[in-house]
């Protein structure tokens, strides 16, 4: 057996060991074998307060401009960002609302079905 043959045999063994190690590594960490997850679908555009759905619930982008006569139930400190239907981070400027799928609302917005999110505070 020549040195060249041994060298070729060693090379082939090393390659086989290397190929076997890749699936073993993937089994040890299944996330490593998966392609990157696609980004979450982006929410749609900003809800238009003039849209029929928004008007039906009295949605406004700025809760400080709620008409008190038309909405006597509105209290200071009620905003979309502290509403139970808000699904974004409390400090997000805008985010999804369960009542308006495919749209985002303003964190400072408000509508007639506002309800305090558990653990949130007014303001
Ligand atoms: S349900 Fe809550 S988060 Fe959605 S628009 Fe009305 S006040 Fe804002």
Domain ranges of the chain: 3-33, 40-123
Assigned token pair, 30: 């299944």
78 torsion bin: left (phi>0), alpha (psi -120 to 50), beta (else): beta
- Assigned architecture for domain 40-123: Irregular (4.10)
Question: Residue 51's closest CA among 98, 109, 100, 107?
Answer: 100
Q: Is 83 in the pocket of ligand 1 (CB under 6 A)?
A: yes
Taking only the tens place, the pLDDT of each residue in 32-87 is: 444 444 444 456 799 999 999 999 999 999 999 999 999 999 999 999 999 999 99
pTM over 0.75: no
Mutate to test the pocket of ligand 1, among 64, 78, 105 (most ligand atoms within 8 A of CB): 105
Q: How many angstroms is it from 97 CA to the middle of ligand 1?
A: 6
Question: Residue 79's closest CA among 111, 118, 52?
Answer: 111
Question: Which parts of the chain fold into alpha helices (H)?
Answer: 3-28, 30-33, 52-56
């Amino acid at each position: 057996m020549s040195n060249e043959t041994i060298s070729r045999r060693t090379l082939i063994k090393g390659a086989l060991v290397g190929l076997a190690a890749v699936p073993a590594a993937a089994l040890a960490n299944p996330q490593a074998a998966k392609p990157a997850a696609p980004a979450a679908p982006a929410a749609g555009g900003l809800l238009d307060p003039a849209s029929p759905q928004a008007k039906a619930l009295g949605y406004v982008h700025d809760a400080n401009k709620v008409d008190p006569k038309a909405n006597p139930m509105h209290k200071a400190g009620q905003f979309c960002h502290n509403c139970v239907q808000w699904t974004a981070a409390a400090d997000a400027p805008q985010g999804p609302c369960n009542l308006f799928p495919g749209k985002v609302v303003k964190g400072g917005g408000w509508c007639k079905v506002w309800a305090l999110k558990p653990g949130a505070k007014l303001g």
